[in-house]
Each structure stands twice: as structure tokens, then as C-alpha cells.
Chain A
Amino acid sequence: AQSVTQPDIHITVSEGASLELRCNYSYGATPYLFWYVQSPGQGLQLLLKYFSGDTLVQGIKGFEAEFKRSQSSFNLRKPSVHWSDAAEYFCAWLIQGAQKLVFGQGTRLTINP
């Protein structure tokens, strides 16, 4: 079955440190991939998306992600995290034919001062 895996349930980094959150998708044609962020008690906000073209995509809040077909990955990165980045992050894959968005399990990010 088509799926999205986020191997890290919880990550802790220090403020100002760099960040990489991992995301792998199972298989398929060129995927439509997304990263969403969810702050406590809030809905999901889109950080960035990849549909085609340049494999390095820029998003909001200083985030970027790189699509690597050979590794079936779409990892999220930020050079220097801020305390306000503490949240849960979800990778998602749009299954076009099925008209549905498949989400990973989520990665909870904690920022140490």
C-alpha cells in the first residue's frame, strides 16, 4: 500500500541549531509531496509543497525540503531553529487517482533554550 513514513517520532534540538526531519514515501510515479506544521491545539498549516521541477523547494518560516527520487525521500530542513518552531510536523503525499492525502505519523519537535 502507498504510505508515508516519518521515522522520528520526537526530535529535540537546541535553539539556533540546524534541523532535518525525515520523510520517506513508499513508491509510485512522481509524487505530490507536502509538509505541514501543527502548533498545539491548532489546525495544520502548509509549510511547502513539491509537485515537479526543482527538487529543492522553499517554504514559509525559513523551511526548505529536498525531493530525492533515488531515496524516495522528502526531508525537511531549517538552518537555524527558533523556539517558535516547536510543533508537530507532518509529511504528506497526495495520491492523485485516489483523491486523498496520505499522512505520515508526524514528528514532534521540541526546542531547548
Chain B
Amino acid sequence: NAGVTQTPKFQVLKTGQSMTLQCAQDMNHEYMSWYRQDPGMGLRLIHYSVGAGITDQGEVPNGYNVSRSTTEDFPLRLLSAAPSQTSVYFCASRGRVFGANVLTFGAGSRLTVL
């Protein structure tokens, strides 16, 4: 039981490049989400999914795409990276039974856009 696994841990991109941050969980959680963490701003929700085939926007969705084809995986795509997307990204999942489960976070992916 690995929990929430994020890859890569570190990535450097040039402006305009695209990439995908991978997130996988082995806890059969319905709910998955992506946050970005920036100094002095805490964590802000980018996108979330309440189950396979269902996604929705969070607070800061612009510049990011997501899809949820399986329960286990929830990749985050940057189609054309910008320096403003330099951040630490966290994936988190939560079980279906609200109140009986809490968010479990991955270890994070640090992205630098030059």
C-alpha cells in the first residue's frame, strides 16, 4: 500500500513546453485533487475529481488540464508552461465516505519554469 505516488519529484521546463505530472493512488479512493503550493499563499486547489470520468475546476484552474480515466490515476497537464506555474504541486486523494476519511497527500512535485 503505497498511498499517493507523484512523479516526477523535480522538473525544469522552458516557457511554452508541455508536460504531465502523474498521480496514482492505490487506496481505491473516489476523490482526487491537485493543489499548488506557493510561499505565503498556502495550498490552492487546481482541479479535482469525484470519480472516474468526472472532473471539476478548483480555485486556480487556468493553464492546467486534467482527466480521470481510471480510479487510480489523475494526471495534471500543463499544455504551455509559464513562469507563473513555477510551484510545488501536491496530489491528494480521499475516500468516498465523507467524515470517515481525510485527504492523503503525495510527497509533491517541484516544477520550475524558466
Contacts and interface: CB of A to CB of B under 8 A. Distances in A.
Given A99-B48, A100-B58, A42 B107 contact: yes
B102 interface: yes
Interface residues of B, number: 24
A50 to B, nearest CB: 11
B74 interface: no
B98 A49 contact: no
A42 B41 CA distance: 17
Contacts, number: 53
**A interface, over-half SS:** strand
Name which of A34, A90, A99, A106 has the most chain B CB atoms within 10 A of its CB.
A99
A90 B23 CA distance: 22
Contacts of A42: 107-108
Contact of A90 (B42, B50, B92, B98): B42
Given A43-B90, A100-B48, A105 B42 contact: yes
A48 B80 CA distance: 38
Interface of B: 31, 33, 35, 40-45, 48, 50, 56, 58-59, 90, 92, 98-99, 102-103, 105-108
Closest 5 CB pairs of A and B: A103-B42, A43-B105, A103-B43, A44-B105, A43-B107
Interface of A: 4, 6, 9, 32, 34, 36, 41-46, 49, 51, 90, 92, 96, 99-106
